[in-house]
Amino acid sequence: MSELLANTGTIAAIATAVVPQQGSVGIVRVSGDHAIAIAQTLFSAPGKQVWSSHRILYGYIRQPQTKQVVDEALLLIMKAPRSFTREDVVEFHCHGGIMAVQQVLQLCLENGARLAQPGEFTLRAFLNGRLDLTQAESIADLVGAKSPQAAQTALAGLQGKLAHPIRQLRAQCLDILAEIEARIDFEEDLPPLDEQRIISEIDQVTAEITKLLATKDQGELLRTGLKVAIVGRPNVGKSSLLNAWSQSDRAIVTDLPGTTRDVVESQLVVGGIPIQVLDTAGIRETADQVEKIGVERSRRAASAADLVLLTIDASAGWTEADQEIYEQVKHRSLILVINKVDLLENNQELWNKRTAETQRTQRIGDDQIIKQVVKTAAAKNQGIDGLETAILEIVQAGKVQAADMDLAINQRQAAALTKAKIDLEQVQKTIIEQLPLDFWTIDLRGAIYALGEITGEEVTESVLDRIFSRFCIGK
């Protein structure tokens, strides 16, 4: 058994983010049989404070030998089973930053605790029946949520909204299995099986599974967000676009081509979807060593992005350099951003010429069409709404809206659901082919196992290792 699953000993970790000189409070969490003894060794509560469960004590954390005060703190005691792990848990609420929490953690480790593995508190909560696996995964999602919608979906999972339908589907399969097995054991005493009814019951289960599977893509989008790269030749206004969009002056803007040398990043939320926007160096041939590296990074950013905003300068129209960059990114999801449209406003002749060009631009090459074209004047903060609408149209083409999601499965859950669906379809085939009853149960059991894996009723050590190693230490 791996160390993670040993589930023994008293564990301790810093439960809050560890950032030097920041955070007014930092929490050291201890769970296990020795938690309360450790608290009694390290913590002194002056006056007549009572050491009872679910109370906060005020006092001092001291080095037990020298009695030197390490921090002035609060102590929260939660006796088993009324705690997150269902074990005895104590939390030292220390001063923030890093020194206090690290020293208090060190004292816990010297006095009977060992350092917790990533996710070990949550693993104990799972092993002790406090949470199922979907809830445990939702905790990691909630901590990692990058938008309010992502947090909402994670919270729904934490409240069991995902586990509930899965359990029901599994119970339905178990009922069917019991019915078949009864026929295997007592064939003579029971009326024959209504095969048609069983097939239609399985149809119901697979229809529900299909519905759940449909939430996967959006779920992934909410969890990981969308990576959007602004790409184009120098000086078209890429950095200005990032700044206008993020309402900041994150990126340096000058009228000199070749200003941006490195990838500049900004986090945004559009329609509930977390978006990481990357401003990149203008792509061109250059002898400048630094710029060359920047251009290489732009290309890499473009190929790693989910969506590329190919940006051009409206006053210059579609140039050969734009065409070259387009050739490099045309296989990606693409929006053409025509920036600096304000420069055309007072020049009707140029406007007509560029509009004609734009129309051609949308039909670049023979068969390639850039479906999404957006006009902006980044320097004047214009056109950002249109850009966001275009992004959402691409993202949500044919899919539910992020804001409407109340649950979303992850990849692991999707894989198990897919396995269950295939097994169930196999059961139906077996019935139609009139194979012996024993055969029906094999695939049905496979489906039941797969559904049980999602919530953790059936689970292997390697699955647990994979899930909980994603967590941070202290969770």
Which one of residues 235, 413, 428, 455 is an interface residue with ligand GTP (CB under 6 A)?
A: 235
Q: Is 153 in the site for ligand GTP (CB under 6 A)?
A: no
d(CA 138, CA 152): 10
The site map against ligand GTP for 380-399 (x = CB under 6 A) is x-------------------
Q: Is 340 in the site for ligand GTP (CB under 6 A)?
A: yes
Which one of residues 160, 165, 258, 386 is an interface residue with ligand GTP (CB under 6 A)?
A: 258
d(CA 223, CA 150): 6
Q: Is 257 in the site for ligand GTP (CB under 6 A)?
A: yes
Give 314 or 414: the residue with its C-beta nearer to ligand GTP: 314
First to last CA, the chain: 21
Give 6 or 252: the residue with its C-beta nearer to ligand GTP: 252
Contact partner, 223, from ligand GTP, Mg ion, none, Cβ < 5-8 Å per class = none
Which one of residues 379, 422, 459, 473 is an interface residue with ligand GTP (CB under 6 A)?
A: 379
d(CA 46, CA 30): 22
Give 152 or 260: the residue with its C-beta nearer to Mg ion: 260
Give 216 or 261: the residue with its C-beta nearer to Mg ion: 261
Contact partner, 417, from Mg ion, ligand GTP, none, Cβ < 5-8 Å per class = none
Kindly state the tokens that stand for 212: 């759940």
Part of the chain binding Mg ion (CB under 5 A), chosen from 93-101, 188-196, 234-242, 373-381: 234-242
Distances (CA, A) of 383 to 234, 251, 319, 380, 416: 20, 19, 22, 9, 43
Q: Is 260 in the site for Mg ion (CB under 5 A)?
A: yes
Q: Say how many residues touch ligand GTP, by CB under 6 A.
A: 24
Residue 69 φ/ψ, nearest 5 degrees: -75, 130
d(CA 202, CA 256): 66
d(CA 302, CA 163): 38
Kindly state the tokens that stand for 290: 């630094």
The answer to whether residues 215 and 404 touch, using CB atoms and an 8 Å cutoff, is no
Across the beta sheet with 43-44, the strand order is 43-44, 55-62, 69-78, 89-95, 25-31, 10-14, 113-115
| AA identity, residue 454 | I
Give 109 or 379: the residue with its C-beta nearer to ligand GTP: 379
Of 42, 112, 50, 55, the C-alpha closest to 82 is: 55
d(CA 261, CA 292): 8
Give 172 or 328: the residue with its C-beta nearer to ligand GTP: 328
Q: Is 200 in the site for ligand GTP (CB under 6 A)?
A: no
Part of the chain binding ligand GTP (CB under 6 A), chosen from 75-83, 123-131, 252-260, 329-337: 252-260
Residue that is written with structure tokens 């695939």 in the block:
443
- Quote helix, strand, coil % in the chain, to nearest 5: 50, 15, 35
Minimum distance, C-beta of residue 395 to ligand GTP, in the bound complex (Å): 24
CA atoms within 13 A on the CB side of 96: 9
Minimum distance, C-beta of residue 230 to Mg ion, in the bound complex (Å): 9
Which one of residues 206, 239, 311, 376 is an interface residue with Mg ion (CB under 5 A)?
A: 239
Contact partner, 229, from ligand GTP, Mg ion, none, Cβ < 5-8 Å per class = none
Q: Is 465 in the site for ligand GTP (CB under 6 A)?
A: no
Minimum distance, C-beta of residue 237 to Mg ion, in the bound complex (Å): 8
Binding annotation: 29, 91, 130, 235-240, 254-260, 279-282, 475
The answer to whether residues 451 and 134 touch, using CB atoms and an 8 Å cutoff, is no
Give 239 or 266: the residue with its C-beta nearer to ligand GTP: 239
Which one of residues 8, 247, 248, 254 is an interface residue with ligand GTP (CB under 6 A)?
A: 254
